[in-house]
Homo-oligomer: A and B are copies of this chain.
């Protein structure tokens, strides 16, 4: 309950809270907690019960499924502004996934039943929540497409392309996470990811350790999909090399 005020400006920019009156935000903050967590910390684990809803204020979080053998599949890498366990708000079931801190993280922790009340009585907040969930759903579908009908190299190409598009204009990016994590997110083993990056090098893309350099901004456009395209500022303009991104 400490110095929540520091985060007040930050919170107003979170997708879920955009356009929400100050008074409501204050009330939400008042009944929430801020939690700081170090790398490797476990936030929650599949099969547990919880009554909390989380919003990432800072850091990075790995959301994943783990099977009996310890193999894990990464579902999402949550960034500032993302929220966790929105499904829990609406149905009090067991947590379906695990969450672990990748980079030192600040979380806003809101009691689920309180959040449910806020949403119920504020139509703008409800609308925001629906939009956020719809967004997630679209990301899911895109991820699903990659995992189920793309080859390893297509998946790597898609991932790199997304990075460049998020990054704006530059044709240089740094891999934002460990290669192990990226590999898992892309549904492959680290060895396979490494080999695939070597293939990309051979095909003319400059990669030094974790820095990727494109010869041209369009080098990866073959790997575009609908979801990625919708985030690309060249999409729909004559500059886009494949307007009907398969």
Instruction: List the interface of chain A (C-beta within 8 A of B).
Output: 46-47, 65, 67-68, 71-73, 75, 86-87, 89-91, 93-94, 96-97, 119-121, 123, 126-127, 129-131, 133-138, 140-145, 147-150, 187, 226-227, 230, 244, 246
Bound-state CA distance A123–B93 (Å) is 22
> For residue A129, which residues in chain B have a CB less than 8 angstroms away from its CB?
130
Cβ–Cβ < 8 Å partners of A144 in chain B: 65, 73, 75, 140, 143-144, 147
Specify which of B120, B133, B187 is in contact with A134 (CB 8 Å cutoff). B133
Q: What B residues does A244 contact at CB under 8 A?
A: 47
Is A130 in contact with B133, judged by CB distance below 8 angstroms?
yes
Q: Which residues of B contact A246 (CB under 8 A)?
A: 67-68
Partner of A90, one of B68, B93, B94, B130: B130
Please tell me which one of the listed residues B121, B130, B131, B141 contacts residue A123 in the complex, with CB atoms under 8 A apart: B121
Contact present for A141 and B90 (CB under 8 Å): no
Q: Which residues of B contact A94 (CB under 8 A)?
A: 226, 230
Determine whether the beta carbon of A150 is less than 8 Å from that of B67.
Answer: yes
Q: Could you say which of B73, B130, B140, B226 contacts A126, with CB atoms under 8 Å apart?
A: B130
- What would 10 more interface pairs be, CB under 8 Å, given A94-B226, A123-B123? A65-B148, A67-B246, A71-B149, A73-B149, A90-B131, A120-B127, A133-B134, A136-B137, A140-B140, A140-B144
